[in-house]
Amino acid sequence: MTNRNLLKIAEEFGTPVYVYDAESIKVQYEKLTSSFHRNTRFFYAAKALTNINILKYVNNLGAGLDCVSINEVKLGLKAGFPSHKILFTPNCVDLAEIEEAMELKVHINIDNISILEQFGNRYAGSYPIFVRINPHIFAGGNYKISTGHIDSKFGISIHQLRHIERIMNSTGLRIEGLHMHTGSEIKDPDVFLQGLDIMFELSEHFPELKYIDMGSGFKVPYQKDDLETDVPSLGKKVDHALKEFSKKTGKKVDLWFEPGKFLVSKSGHFLVKANVIKHTTATVFAGVNSGFNHLIRPMFYDSYHVIENLSNPKGTERIYTVVGNICETDTFAWDRKITEVREGDILVFRNAGAYGFEMSSNFNSRLKPAEVLFIEGKAKLIRKREEFEDLLKNQVEVL
C-alpha cells in the first residue's frame, strides 16, 4: 500500500480514518509460521484489534484466537474460529463468565487461586483447563505493559505451586495447559527461553500436560533504529529447546504463542487532517482533527509513532508539536521533525494497527472514526464513521 493509496482513501472516506493493509498482516503471520516448526501454533491476541473483518482474515490465514473477555470469544466464533482454536484468558472475572465460556466449549485459562478452587469444586475432572503462571520475570517495553513481575495482577505465582497441586489432588482438577505472558515489546528473545525453562520445570507436576503457552510480547519497531524481535533466531532456539525437553522427559507438548501487536501493528495507518498551525513564543503546534480519544497510546504509554505529511512529502522539514482537539493535554508528539505542515494537509501515524481504534472512546462527545481494509488493491470500508445519533443510542431519557 502506497502513500498515494492512503491519500485516495482520505479523500474517499474522510478523516480521521484507520487503514489496515491486509498484506502486511499476512507477511507478519508467515514470518512466524516459517520460523517455528516443532509443534508450534499461533493464536492471534484479539484485544489488539477486534474488527470482525480482521478476525475473519486472520482465521483464514490459519491462526487460532486468544481472547480476554467473553465478548471477544463470541466475536471469534462469529468470525468463524472453531471453538477448539480459541483460548479464553480473562482476569478478575467471576465464575459466571468462566461458565459461559465452558458452554461455548473453548479452552479456558484460569489465573488466580480463588477461581481455580471454585472451578475445581464444581467441575473437577469434567472440563480440562489451562493455568496461567506468574513467573516473576520483569520484561516489556515499560512497567504498564509488563505482566510477569512479582507485583502483577496477572497469573498465579510460581511460589503457589503447592496450592495449585492441593486443588488438583483434592478436586480431581485436570490441567492440560500451562500459560505465562511476561509483557509486550520484549527486546531480548532470551526472555522467552528463560520462561520456557520455567515451564519445563513445572511440567513434571502436571501429568496431563498437553500445551505450553508462552503468551507473546514480540517487539515491532516503532522508530527508525528500533529493534524487532529476531523471530527466525528465536524459532531455532525454541525448536532446539523442545527437542531436548522431549528427549529428556519422553513428553511431547504443543507450544502456543499469542501474537497481537506483532501481526497488526505495522498494518495500521491512522490518517488525520491538520486543522490549525498555531505559533506560541516557543512552540509551533500542528493541531489535527483527532485526539487521544482515537489514539491514546502516546498519552497512555508514552509510545512513539512515526508521523509523516502525506500532502507535502518533499517540503522543508520543520519542528512541530502535534496535538489533538480534545479539551485535555492531548499531545501525540513533542518537537517532531515533519515536512512543512499546512492547514488542510493529511498526516499519517504509522504502526497504528494495534490498540489504536481498539482503545478509542467518545470522550468530549466526539465520534469514533471509520476503519478501512486495503486488500487485493482495493480499499473497503469495514466500519462506518459514527454519527451524532450514535452518542444517544443507549441513553434513556427520563427527564
Distance between CA atoms of residues 7 and 14, nearest Å: 10
Q: Is 20 annotated as a binding residue?
A: no
Distance between CA atoms of residues 162 and 168, nearest Å: 10
Q: Which residue in the block uniquely carries the three cell numbers 529493534?
A: 227
119-153: string of b/e by CB count within 10 Å (b at 16+)?
Answer: bbeebeeebbbbbbbbbbbbbbbeeebbbbbeebe
Q: Which residue in the block uniquely carries the three cell numbers 491462526?
A: 63
Type of residue numbered 50? T
Is 67 noted as a catalytic residue in this protein? no
106: closest CA among 124, 127, 92, 91?
127
Taking 3-state DSSP, the helix, strand and coil percentages for the chain, each rounded to the nearest 5, stand at 35, 25, 40
Q: Is 204 annotated as a binding residue?
A: no
Type of residue numbered 386? E
Q: Using CB atoms within 10 A of its CB, is residue 280 exposed (0-12), middle (13-18) or buried (19+)?
A: exposed
In the three-class reduction of DSSP (H, G, I as helix; E, B as strand; rest coil), residue 190 is classed as helix
Of the candidates 327, 392, 398, 399, the residue annotated as catalytic is: 327
DSSP state of 351: S
CA–CA distance from 105 to each of 38, 88, 100, 364 (Å)? 26, 10, 9, 40
CA 192 to chain centre: 17
Q: Is 328 annotated as a binding residue?
A: yes
C-alpha cell at 323: 496535538
Q: Which residues are annotated as a binding site?
A: 217, 297, 301, 328, 355
Q: Which residues are annotated as a binding site for substrate?
A: 297, 301, 328, 355
Catalytic sites, residue numbers: 327
